[in-house]
Chains A and B, each alone.
Chain A
Amino acid sequence: MKNNNKNIVICGVGGQGIILASNVLCYTAFLEGYDVKKSEVHGMAQRGGSVITHVRFGKKIYSPLIEKGGADFILAFEKLEALRYADYLDKNGVIIVNNREIVPVSVLVGSEKYPVDINKKLKRYRKAYLVDAEDTARSLKNFRVVNIILLGFLARFLKFKRQSWYESIKKYVKQKFVDLNIEAFNQGISLNR
């Protein structure tokens, strides 16, 4: 499963723009000449539920699913979801986590508890980054671009041309939001670690 293929898990809460972000990532890898596969979840699972997409690229990809312990990167849009899918991380993998808590209804109704020391738990991973994407989004006056800001942060670890990313954003984002999203992407790349 390992060889030279890259495996990236993108996870978070339904409605955070995870599928769009993973589409942009996939198409960028495709433009760079790789075989690409991705698996995503639609329907019931999207309504504010826990969402995971698997992205794989390399010379030849068979399975669209990543095995546990096989992800080179986890890009998590929410902290609890980062923890939920952390088993996918390779021991040398990088985990990038949006510094955001979305409390599940199971916690709101009091039947369960949101982990209190979650930042500490996440920092236990060797290469963990906690990113304040919502702050950047607020400065851009649009919370919808959190996904592209985070993708920008991931981009600095991948050796893709900036132009490929832009072309890919143009393909998946509505015309009138392209400039905003490219700005969001650039801010994501230069965000503090």
Chain B
Amino acid sequence: MKTLLLGNEAVARGAWEGGCNVATAYPGTPSTEILENINRYSEIYTEWSVNEKVALEVAAGACFVGARVLVAMKHVGLNVAADPMFSMGYSGVTGGFIIVSADDPGMWSSQNEQDNRYYARHAKIAVLEPSDSNEAKLFTVLGFEISEKLDTPILLRLTTRICHSLGVVELGKRKEHNVGAYVRDTKKRLLLPIHARLRHIIVEKRLQKLKSYSDRFKYNRIEWGGKKLGIITSGIAYQYAREVFPEASFLKLSLTFPLPEKLIKRFSRAVKKIIVVEEGEPIIENELKAMGIKVIGKEKIPICGELTPEIIRDSFAEKKRSYPKKKMPLRPPVLCPGCPHRGVFYIINKLKLTATGDIGCYTLGALPPLNAMDTCICMGASVTNAQGLERAGGREFSKKVVAVIGDSTFFHSGITGLVNAVYNKANLNLLILDNSTTAMTGHQPHPGTGKLAKGSAGKRVLPEEIVRGCGVEMVRIGDPNNLKETETLIKEAVNFDGVSVIVFRRPCALLVKPSQPYWIDPEKCIGCQLCLKIGCPAIGLKFPDDREKPLAVIDEVLCVGCGLCVQVCPRDAITNKR
């Protein structure tokens, strides 16, 4: 039977068919739908872990018992999970172990475009790179088998255009995997230097075996066409290259570390000229060059950004196609109408504070007209960056600094920084924007929600309880939709000596039923535009026929009736009564 699946849905289906027993993840675009879809299978234990390191370690523990495990994350999540991944590279596996890395070339929703195929080489574990949804499912099933057969974790490397592309998938049945009983094996799993030294030797031997396996792997395949041009490619770039070079011969690589050297040499002898079409870093290209093969690659095809068929075509065209430049306004993402973060950013902007930011929807508070964020480095860095600002900038400066973090990010990696600040006697003002969900990635639960991955009740862990447990002396809870209260609380916090935390709690606007939309009385509106300062996409300007000055208007389709704008209007022109 066939159906249509997103790449991420296909990985979930592959996990199920491949007998996966335990799956863990922390949400992150473009990886999130993998665990969301595994949640539908009752045979698999799933959890949203608090961060990627935790997710990978829980999966590793299950693997020790003999379970088939899958852990999914976005590319930068693997930075967080790198420590246990490297050790698992040495330790090897008991049950099949798949680490899914969803890379984001083009940075659709990320802070960098790191190419995690490098990680696999660094940790000396095998890489599988599907090029569409069908392969995403197939390689997940095969991944468990290869992992067990060759005693290696598998890095299943996806990219945004694999994760979020829909394609036809051939469905199979589930093959149950028997977990068995735990067997102690300290030489394998207790990485004391004395054991690890021996493991390193085993890892090097494993790489040799993997190399010959790669040569035999049937999805590393040659598709013969004309012999004038040979294309060596992998992942989504394969699909693009098929469109751009219909006459060429193709070496389509799927197990891309270690590379199938014999196969590559056979292919390269048969064609006149070779182009390596790969997205991101010149990884295959450099390894081919090290094999002594002459190839064309990144001198033509860009390293920055994602590839498209067009970019590849233009890279080799004599004349690039050009399109007339159109001058038109950009439409970057914005905080939604009714977003509970808006009030806090409005006050940060009003008080002209320096705000260290973090990763989530609330990073959008950085955009005009709110302009309420100075930094965004990585998950959890708001807390620690603010501490550093104070240490170098001094106490007076720190009275103008706040750290802003979301609830899910706080659980992910804000807590350690907070303990550090308390312990080191910092003057730190942390604002936890608690919308009681992981909003940006599509509303996954976390400890603060008390809900588990599959929807049942877990144990709720409240941020303010953690904060008090960390030794924070000033802890407040506020409603960010009350601008007066928000301003008072923030002023109190910045003047507090020591560490202060305000939890601004209000649920994500997308999870609340919209109230009656507001409208602006044109008889009362004086066109002062103060309501535009809150940056709500539902408020715009309109030129009435009889006036020269534009008046503010509310878009009834977009307004959810949060009432924030009412609080900034000096003329009481905004009302929800007709």
Residues of A within 8 A of B (CB): 1, 13-15, 23, 26-27, 30, 35-50, 61-65, 67-69, 80-81, 83-84, 87, 102-109, 111-115, 134, 143
Main secondary structure on chain B at its contact with chain A? loop
Give Cα distance in the complex from A108 to B332, angstroms: 13
> A1 to B243, Cβ gap below 8 A?
yes
> A62 to B243, Cβ gap below 8 A?
yes
Chain A residues closer than 8 Å to B330, beta-carbon distance: 50, 104, 106, 112
Chain B residues closer than 8 Å to A109, beta-carbon distance: 368-369, 532, 535
Question: Given contacts A48-B334, A115-B328, A143-B557, are A1 and B309 in contact (CB under 8 A)?
Answer: yes
Chain B residues closer than 8 Å to A107, beta-carbon distance: 329, 540
Give Cα distance in the complex from A113 to B327, angstroms: 10
A sample of 14 cross-chain residue pairs with beta-carbon separation below 8 angstroms, ordered by A number, consists of A38-B166, A40-B166, A42-B29, A42-B32, A43-B441, A47-B361, A63-B239, A64-B166, A64-B167, A80-B329, A87-B323, A106-B332, A108-B540, A112-B329
Q: Which residue of B lies closest to A19 (CB)?
A: B164
Give Cα distance in the complex from A49 to B537, angstroms: 11
Chain B residues closer than 8 Å to A83, beta-carbon distance: 326, 328
Q: Nearest Cβ distance between residue A172 and chain B, in whole angstroms?
A: 11
Within 8 A of A (CB), among B318-344: 321, 323, 326, 328-336
> B333 to A47, Cβ gap below 8 A?
yes
Q: Which one, B3, B30, B165, B331, contacts A43 given CB within 8 A?
A: B30
User: A41, A87, A112, A113: which has the most chain B beta carbons within 10 Å?
Assistant: A41
> A68 to B323, Cβ gap below 8 A?
yes
Give Cα distance in the complex from A67 to B239, angstroms: 13
> B309 to A63, Cβ gap below 8 A?
yes
Chain A residues closer than 8 Å to B240, beta-carbon distance: 62-63, 65
User: B167, B539, B558: which has the most chain A beta carbons within 10 Å?
Assistant: B167
The 9 A-B residue pairs whose C-beta atoms are closest, nearest first, are A43-B29, A43-B109, A49-B333, A112-B329, A47-B333, A44-B109, A38-B166, A64-B165, A50-B331
> B336 to A47, Cβ gap below 8 A?
yes
Give Cα distance in the complex from A41 to B243, angstroms: 22
Chain B residues closer than 8 Å to A111, beta-carbon distance: 368
Q: Which one, B165, B329, B555, B557, contacts A114 given CB within 8 A?
A: B329
Q: Which residue of A lies closest to B167 (CB)?
A: A37
B85 lies within 8 A of chain A by Cβ: no
Chain B residues closer than 8 Å to A48, beta-carbon distance: 331, 333-336, 537
> B369 to A105, Cβ gap below 8 A?
yes
Residues of B within 8 A of A (CB): 3-4, 29-30, 32-33, 108-109, 132, 160-161, 164-168, 236, 239-240, 242-243, 308-310, 313, 321, 323, 326, 328-336, 361, 364, 367-369, 440-442, 532, 535, 537, 539-541, 555, 557-558
> B333 to A108, Cβ gap below 8 A?
no
> B331 to A42, Cβ gap below 8 A?
no
Question: Given contacts A63-B240, A68-B323, are A41 and B329 in contact (CB under 8 A)?
Answer: no
Give Cα distance in the complex from A63 to B311, angstroms: 13
Q: Nearest Cβ distance between residue A22 and chain B, in whole angstroms?
A: 8
Beyond the given A13-B331, A44-B29, A46-B333, please list 12 additional residue pairs across the A-B interface where CB-CB is below 8 A: A30-B3, A36-B166, A39-B165, A40-B164, A43-B108, A48-B334, A50-B331, A104-B332, A105-B369, A106-B368, A108-B369, A111-B368
> A47 to B557, Cβ gap below 8 A?
no
Chain B residues closer than 8 Å to A49, beta-carbon distance: 331-334
> A44 to B440, Cβ gap below 8 A?
yes
Q: Which residue of B lies closest to A143 (CB)?
A: B557
> A30 to B310, Cβ gap below 8 A?
no
> B161 to A105, Cβ gap below 8 A?
no
Chain A residues closer than 8 Å to B4, beta-carbon distance: 26-27, 30, 36
> B329 to A113, Cβ gap below 8 A?
yes
Give Cα distance in the complex from A113 to B236, angstroms: 37
Q: Nearest Cβ distance between residue B319 and chain A, in whole angstroms?
A: 15
Give Cα distance in the complex from A84 to B329, angstroms: 9
Chain B residues closer than 8 Å to A27, beta-carbon distance: 4
Chain A residues closer than 8 Å to B108, beta-carbon distance: 41-45
Question: Given contacts A44-B440, A105-B368, are A37 and B166 in contact (CB under 8 A)?
Answer: yes
Question: Given contacts A39-B165, A44-B29, A44-B108, are A108 and B309 in contact (CB under 8 A)?
Answer: no
Chain B residues closer than 8 Å to A64, beta-carbon distance: 132, 161, 165-167, 236, 239
Chain B residues closer than 8 Å to A37, beta-carbon distance: 132, 165-167
> A47 to B165, Cβ gap below 8 A?
no
Chain B residues closer than 8 Å to A115, beta-carbon distance: 328
Give Cα distance in the complex from A41 to B321, angstroms: 25
Chain A residues closer than 8 Å to B333, beta-carbon distance: 14, 44-49
